[in-house]
Amino acid sequence: QVQVVASGGGEVQAGGSLRLSCAASGSMFLAHAMGWYRQAGGKQRELVARITLGGSINYADSVKGRFTISRDNAKNTVFLQMNSLKTNDNAVYYCKVTLRNYDYWGQGTQVTVSS
């Protein structure tokens, strides 16, 4: 049974940094894609960053130049380094792992940026 566990959220002042981690376990297969999504109050969930097994990366325009996604393929783990955080980044962040054409979601982790 695949489990996806995210960690690393918290509270930080504007301009600060946080690093999120997400690990998928319970599968012998490497994840085709791993990504981070976020959902702010009253809004739809949106893509933040996504990385494929081959290394292709997509970022939301709003985080380009500030966030960096990376992964450890051997451990089916993905990271999101978030720098220069803004109050607009306030949201619950979710990790999504695509394994054998099926999407698995981790529990959300709250990121709070105060001004």
What are the pLDDT tens digits along the chain (115 aa)? 899 999 999 999 999 999 999 999 888 788 889 999 999 988 999 999 999 999 999 999 999 999 999 999 989 999 999 999 999 999 999 999 999 889 999 999 999 999 9
Half-sphere exposure of 99 (CA within 13 A, CB side): 21
Q: Among 86, 78, 83, 82, which Cα is nearest to 104's?
A: 78
List of residues 6+ apart from 97 with CB closer than 8 A = 2, 4, 22, 24, 31, 33, 34, 76, 78, 103, 104, 105, 106
Please report, for residues 28, 42, 47, 115, the alpha-carbon distance to residue 94 in angstroms, rounded to integers and kept in the order given: 22, 16, 9, 23
